[in-house]
A = this chain, B = another copy of it.
Amino acid sequence: MPGGGEFAFIDWLRGRTPADPRVLIGPGDDTAALKLSSGATCLVTTDMLLEGSCFKLSEAGPRLVGRKAMAVNLSDIAAMAGRPVAAVVSVGLPRAGGRGLAEELYLGLREAADAFATAIVGGDTNSWDGPLVISVTILGEATERGPVPRSGARPGDWLLVTGPLGGSILGRHLTFTPRVREALQLRERVELHAMIDVSDGLAADVNHLCEESHCGAVLRAADIPIHTDVYKLNDGRPPLEHALGDGEDFELVCAVSPDEGRQLLATQPIAGITLVHIGECVESGLWLEEQQQRRALPPIGYVHSLK
C-alpha cells in the first residue's frame, strides 16, 4: 500500500524475524503454525477489536462485540483448516461500563467459543479510562493432513468461495458463523492448496493469497456470488463492488486443482453451503474478467491503516 500500512509493516517485521525451526508458518498468514518439541503442530492466531475503530459499542452492544472478537479468531483457524482448542482473552474495559459490560462481553465470547468446543482458559481483565479494547488469541491443532497456508496456490488452480459476499455491515459482520466445520470437511475431501478467509474484502484477500503464493488470479465478474444484503444497501454503488470490497464476510476462498474443483462443484458435499467457482490462479497480476474483457483489479477492501 502506498505510504505504508499494516502489510508494509509486516514486511518490515518479517525481514527482522530470524528463521526458527519451530516456526512452520510465521507472520503473514491467517494463523501461525508451531512445531512443539513433542512433534505436535500447534496453531495460534490473535485479533484485537478496538471500540470506535472496529465496532460501535452503542450500536452492537457488548454481547455481539464479544461474540465477534471470538468469531474472527475462529475464522482464522478455519482458514488453516484447523481445529480450535482454547482461547485466552485480554480486555480493557471502560470504567463507566462496570461489571455488566464485562459480563455481557464474556457471555458473547462464550457463545461463539462454545459453538466450536473452544475452552476459554485465561485472560487479563483491566479497567481503564479509555474505550473498550478486546484481544483474543486462539490455539488450535492442525489435522493429520497439516495446516493449509495462504502460500500453496499455483497457476491453473481453481478458486472457490464458500458463500455470497458483500453488505456484511448490515449485521452479518457481527453475527456470522465462522467456517470451521466446513473447512475441516473440505480438508477431508480434497487437497486444499491454499486458503484464506474474506475479512478485508474479496479482492484484497485474494491478493494476499496470491502474494503469498507468488502467483496471480483472475476473478470472473459474472460468477462472484453477491449477498442479498448488498441490494438492501441502496447506496448507488454497483453490487459487484460491494462483493469485491466490503469485507468481513468471513467466507473462505480456497485454491484447488481443476479436477478436484469440478468434483466439488458436481457433488457439493459440504452440508449447508454451496461452493462457487469464482476464478483461477494465473502467473501474475490480479484481474477481473467481465464480458470477455480482462482488466486489472485493484485489491480493494479494508486498508490496514498503519501509516
Binding site for B on A (CB under 8 A): 4, 6, 9-10, 12-13, 16-18, 20, 22-23, 25-27, 29, 31-32, 34, 36-40, 42, 44-48, 50-54, 85-86, 88-93, 95, 98-99, 102-103, 106, 110, 119-131, 133, 135, 137, 139, 141, 304-307
Contact = CB atoms under 8 A, between A and B. Distances in A.
Quick one: which of A12, A53, A130 has the most chain B CB within 10 A?
A130
A42 to B, nearest CB: 6
Contacts of A20: 119
5 contacts: A34-B119, A36-B40, A46-B90, A95-B305, A126-B306
Contact of A304 (B42, B106, B121, B125): B125
State how many copies of this chain the complex holds. Answer: 2
A48 B50 CA distance: 13
Contacts of A123: 27, 46
Contact of A121 (B32, B110, B125, B131): B32
Contacts of A103: 12
A47 B141 contact: no
Contacts of A44: 86, 88, 121-122, 137, 139
A98 B306 CA distance: 7
A-B complex: 6 closest residue pairs judged by Cβ atoms: A38-B40, A32-B121, A48-B90, A135-B135, A137-B137, A53-B128
B9 A102 contact: yes
Nearest to A46: B88
